[in-house]
């Protein structure tokens, strides 16, 4: 959520941000309602002050004077009965509209509509060349007996799966490697709640715009999170931190749930787009300073790239365009990994800076050396998400005999297994 004072002072900047992000928000309506609220609130506060003052005078008056004062109070109450509901309705409308106002993108964000307009900054590693016809990840996974989707679909529905045998070990190894790496960089590991209240979803900016993509447990009025970002950022909701404590750096492991409501018919085969997956997420809460935010953004991106380099996966880093970054994001870089079966680099990581957007919604502040409080800045980035990351691992490290070589850094975490061999499935 943006500061209304910022919108008042920079209406054209905010309108341009709305345009660049391809959103539909009437900033003029918000400013008009804000003006009405301020005018009506002044009237209401004046009437309340008059009522309180006159009420004290009534106890000291008698006769006609007392009757006159009571008549004035009655008139004020009638006015308040008319104006207070109007003020409440305006404030509710204002709060609802403010939830849709996007953060203006940073100046360096390229303008565009989709990931086709993202700007590639660098490529690391080279896609493999095969002297045989390579298989896709699902074909490999089934021949290696490390996945079973038909049995999962039978009782859990589409986009569900069993990961088993060396596949399960491989995912656990990935997460242990990522957590160890982040712990060595000073990040605090956490296993987080996966059911949260609506306030956490609104506070982190996933609602109201992303509500249709979220699983809802109606009986308990709780939502299944699509990323550990939600509980990690919400961890300090309604708190005032000390500046000396900052930055707070967390890495959270969670199972994630997404309805993929806007992806009907897309990526229905394999691991790319599923209803349930697991992820290690990085989150930073830092001081309200764009330069500090940029330093933390680079750190988050560096961490993810170090993991990718250690896995020896070919990838590229792209600067996301204005139509591709989310409502709250000021800046986003994506790591896209080479996936042979798709014939292209596809997103596996997303590194985002949100400035005050989440902290204002969640009331996360810090007290500076001057004694004043400010909203914090927040950032996040994927460390590793599975099984999507298994697509490039299986496909890039496949061998002619159908086996898959395990990345060297993961072998100690997989009981020393160097290859997953094809199995004769009865």
**347 flagged as catalytic:** yes
- Cβ neighbours of 304 (radius 10 Å): 25
- Which member of 159, 249, 365, 388 is catalytic? 388
Q: Is 45 among the residues known to form the active site?
A: no
Distance CA 228, CA 195 (A): 11
63: region left, alpha or beta (phi > 0 left; psi from -120 to 50 alpha)? left
Tokens of 367: 């007290």
Alpha-carbon Rg for the chain, nearest whole angstrom, is 27
State the residue for tokens 């960089």: 185
Q: Which of 281, 347, 356, 395 is catalytic?
A: 347
Number of Cβ atoms within 10 Å of the Cβ of 379: 29
Q: Has 273 been annotated as catalytic?
A: yes
List beta partners, residue 283. Answer: 250, 380
Residues β-bridged to residue 285 = 248, 378
Can you give the chain as a three-state secondary structure string?
CCCHHHHHHCHHHHHHHHHHCCCCCCHHHHHHHHHHHHHHHHHHHHHHHHHHHHHHHHCCCCHHHHHHHHHHHHHHHHHHHHHHHHHHHHHHHHHHHHCCCCCCCCCCCCCCCCHHHCEEEEEECCCCCCCCCCCCHHHHHHHCCCEEHHHHHHHHCCCCCEECCHHHHHHHHHHHHHHHHHHHCCCEEEECCCEECHHHHHHCCCCCCCHHHCCEECCCCEEECCCCHHHHHHCCCCCEEEHHHCCEEEEEEEEEECCCHHHCCCCCCCCCCCCEEEEEEEEEEECCCHHHHHHHHHHHHHHHHHHHHHHCCCEEEEECCCCCCCCCCCEEEEEEEEECCCCEEEEEEEEEEEECHHHHHHCCEEECCCCCEEECEEEEEEEEEECCCHHHHHHHCECCCCCEECCHHHHHHHCCCCEECCCCCC
User: Active-site residue among 322, 350, 359, 386?
Assistant: 350
| Active-site choice (258, 324, 365, 386) | 258
Active-site pick, 19, 51, 93, 273: 273
Q: Which residue has the tokens 């605090």?
A: 188
Catalytic residue list: 258, 273, 347, 350, 388
């Amino acid at each position: 959520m943006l500061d209304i004072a910022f919108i008042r002072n920079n209406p054209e900047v905010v309108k341009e941000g709305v345009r660049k992000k391809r959103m539909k928000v009437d900033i003029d309506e918000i400013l008009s309602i804000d003006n009405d609220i301020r005018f009506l609130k002044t009237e209401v506060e004046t009437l309340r002050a008059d009522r309180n003052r006159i009420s004290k005078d009534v106890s000291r008056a008698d006769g006609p004077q007392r009757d006159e004062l009571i008549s004035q109070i009655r008139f004020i109450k009638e006015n308040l009965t008319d104006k207070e509901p109007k003020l409440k309705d305006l404030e509710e409308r204002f709060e609802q509209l403010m939830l849709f106002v996007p953060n203006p993108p940073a100046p360096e964000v390229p303008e565009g509509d989709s990931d086709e307009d993202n700007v590639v900054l660098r490529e690391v590693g080279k896609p493999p060349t095969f002297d045989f016809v390579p298989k896709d990840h699902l074909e490999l996974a089934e021949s290696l007996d490390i996945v079973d989707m038909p049995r999962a679909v039978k009782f859990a529905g589409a986009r569900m799966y069993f990961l088993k045998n060396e596949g399960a070990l491989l995912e656990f190894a990935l997460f242990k490697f990522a957590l160890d790496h982040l712990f060595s960089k000073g990040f605090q590991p956490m296993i987080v709640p996966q059911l949260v209240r609506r306030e956490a979803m609104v506070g982190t900016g996933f609602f109201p715009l992303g509500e249709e993509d979220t699983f809802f447990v109606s009986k308990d009025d709780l939502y299944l999170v699509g990323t550990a970002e939600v509980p990690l950022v919400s961890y300090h909701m309604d708190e005032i931190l000390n500046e000396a404590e900052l930055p707070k750096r967390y890495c959270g492991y969670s199972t994630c749930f997404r309805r993929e409501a806007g992806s009907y018919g897309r990526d229905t085969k394999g691991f790319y787009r599923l209803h349930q997956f697991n992820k290690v997420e990085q989150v930073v809460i830092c001081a309200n300073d764009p330069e500090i935010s940029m330093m933390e953004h680079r750190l988050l991106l560096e961490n993810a790239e170090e993991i990718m380099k250690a896995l020896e996966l070919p990838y590229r880093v792209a600067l996301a365009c204005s139509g591709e970054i989310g409502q709250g994001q000021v800046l986003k870089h994506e790591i896209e990994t080479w996936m042979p079966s798709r014939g292209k680099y596809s997103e596996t990581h997303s590194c985002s800076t949100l400035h005050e957007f989440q902290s204002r919604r969640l009331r996360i502040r810090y007290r500076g050396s001057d004694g004043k409080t400010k909203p914090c800045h927040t950032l996040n980035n994927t460390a590793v998400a599975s099984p999507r990351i298994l697509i490039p691992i299986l496909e890039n490290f496949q061998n002619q005999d159908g086996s898959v070589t395990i990345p060297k850094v993961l072998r100690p975490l997989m009981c020393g297994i160097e290859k997953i061999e094809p199995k004769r499935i009865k």
